[in-house]
Amino acid sequence: MQEGRVNEGTEEYLRRLKSRGFRLTNQRRVIIETLLSNLGIHLNARELLELAQKDDPSIGIATIYRTIDLLNSLGMLNQVNLEEGFLRFEVPDEQMHFHIFCRSCGKTVHLPDEESRMSDVQGWAQDMGFELLPQTFEMAGLCKECREEGVLEPFEGASPAKCARRSRRKPRCRLMQ
Ligand SMILES: [Zn+2]
Ligand SMILES: [Zn+2]
């Protein structure tokens, strides 16, 4: 995101926090700025800490977790679970957001054409009497490269050595057209 838009986005975020009675500390501002200037990269708490500390070294991991919890409880931050044993975070969009990730190498992509799929999902929830909130969905799979390498899921009868590896590259969102 360009700097101007990051600033605008940060101000809007801070306005929303203030209107709900939360204090606008510099630490919160830096954390929000860091999230907004790293859109498309699903930062985890550690990565968020390292980046935020470049702007404000007084920020500690406890502040990161408190801020994440606060933003999450206000619907201002989505959690992304890529089955790594920790969560990653993403600033929500107006609309729903779909990821598919490789259970072996961790490659993560944003599914294209989300808008046209949304009505199906919304209708599905509405049939049960629910109105969906903006959120992200994660689906697990095996990518083409891993399948070609012969990585198999345990339920496919692979020997343990050939089961999905759990060593992960850093997942980044890429739009696959
Ligand atoms: Zn893979
Ligand atoms: Zn994403």
Q: What is the pLDDT of residues 144-157, one digit of tens each?
A: 999 998 886 655 54
Closest ligand to C-alpha of residue 110 is: 2
Q: Record the pTM.
A: 0.71
Each of the 177 residues of the chain gets a pLDDT tens digit; together they read: 556 677 777 888 888 889 999 888 999 999 999 998 988 788 999 999 999 999 999 999 999 999 999 998 888 898 999 888 899 998 887 677 888 999 888 888 888 888 888 888 889 999 999 988 777 888 999 999 999 988 866 555 444 444 555 555 555 555 543
The ligand minimizing its distance to the Cα of 145 is: 1
Instruction: Say if 83 falls within a structural domain.
Output: no
165 within domain boundaries: yes
Please report the DSSP string for the chain in residue order.
Answer: --HHHHHHHHHHHHHHHHHTT----HHHHHHHHHHHTTTTB-EEHHHHHHHHHHH-TT--HHHHHHHHHHHHHTTSSEEE--SSSS-EEEPPPSS-EEEEEETTT--EEEPS-HHHHHHHHHHHHHHTT--PPS-EEEEEE--HHHHHTT-B-GGGT--GGGBPP---PPPBEEE--
Range of the domain at 36: 3-77
Ligand located closest to 81 CA: 2
Ligand nearest to the CA of 42: 2
Are residue 61 and residue 109 in the same domain, yes or no? Answer: no
In a domain, 92, yes or no: no
Kindly state whether residue 116 falls inside one of the protein's structural domains: yes
What is the number of structural domains in the chain? 2
Cα 38 to middle of ligand 2, angstroms = 11
